[in-house]
Amino acid sequence: MASGDASAPLAEQIEQLLAPGGPLPIVAAGDPVLRRGAVPFDGQVEPALLARFVEALRVTMHAAPGVGLAAPQVGVGLRIAVVEDPAPVPEEVRRARGRVPQPFRVLVNPAYEAVGADRAAFFEGCLSVPGWQAVVARHAAVRLRALDEHGRPVDEVFTGWPARIVQHETDHLDGVLYLDRAETRSLSSTEALARYWSQPTPERAADALGFRLPGADPS
């Protein structure tokens, strides 16, 4: 199995996974590891190995490419994720989605809570569900609590697209895929998305495909 022996101790499993070098294989939907809650990190992996694993997650995220990657996505059921977004998007997309650059971060044992009642809906994809995207309504702002890779506390409010990223990656650690939260009528192949739904917001898709967006008139 690409992720090594899943029954082995975490440190041994990670050593096996890192042995070939280079980007790690990404686990696809259907693998049970993506549907189990990840184990909180409490020192099961010594600092040098943790640093190597974090670097491998970073390399894999960049190679995919993606803006976030959770440990279960490479077959390791440990509550760790990495995020980074250079946000190379047009200005109209930046304004509509609140997508601003985010530095590389390591999130250990993250948890989030909504800040306010506002929700935002946009097309969203996942490296573990390649070739497809769907509209997901998420909290527009969240407070994220976590540790970084050095054990220092993280307590920060995220808004816009960064809020979406941290919700997506934290969900992975709870065994939740974005499809669980998606408007199923919006599900589109990558090709269809590029052909029909490349607008900064999904109103046109909602009208054509027959799904509701947050705050839309139910009539």
Binding-site residue numbers for Fe cation are: 126, 168, 172
Give the Cα-Cα-Cα angle 64, 178, 24 (nearest 5 degrees).
Answer: 25
Active site residue 169: yes
Active-site entry in 124, 149, 169, 183: 169
Helix, strand, coil shares of the chain, percent, nearest 5, are: 35, 25, 40
- Residue among 125, 109, 175, 129 nearest 27 (CA): 129
Burial of 72 (0-12, 13-18, 19+ CB in 10 A): buried
Identify residue 91 by its one-letter amino acid code.
E
* Residue 142: partners with Cβ closer than 8 Å, 6 or more residues away: 112, 113, 114, 115, 157, 158, 163, 166, 167
Contact indicator for 58, 82 with CB cutoff of 8 Å: yes
10-18 and 47-63 are packed helices; what angle lies between their axes, rounded to 10 degrees?
A: 50
146 has which bridge partners? 154
Tokens standing for residue 44: 């099961």
CA gap 212, 215 in Å, rounded: 8
Q: Write out the catalytic residue numbers.
A: 169
